[in-house]
Amino acid sequence: MALEISKSDTAKLTIQGTSIELDSAYARIELAAAANGVDMQMGMYYYENAAAFTAGSQVLQIAEMKPLYNAEADIALGETQTILLASEKVKEALEAQGYTVAIVEL
- Max Cα separation, the chain? 45
**Average confidence (pLDDT) over 27-53:** 97
Q: How confident is the model at residue 105 (pLDDT cuts 50, 70, 90)?
A: confident
Residue 70: pLDDT over 90: yes
Residue 10: pLDDT over 90: yes
Tell me the C-alpha distance between 56 and 103, whole Å.
20
Residue 106: pLDDT over 70: no
- DSSP for 24-55, written as a single string: EEEEEEEEEE-TTSSEEEEEEEEESSHHHHHT
Residue 45: pLDDT over 70: yes
3-state secondary structure of 105: coil
How do 2-6 and 68-72 pair as beta strands? unpaired
**Average confidence (pLDDT) over 53-62:** 96
- Decide if 71 contacts 62 (C-beta within 8 A): no
User: Of all helices (H) and strands (E), which one includes residue 103?
Assistant: strand 100-104
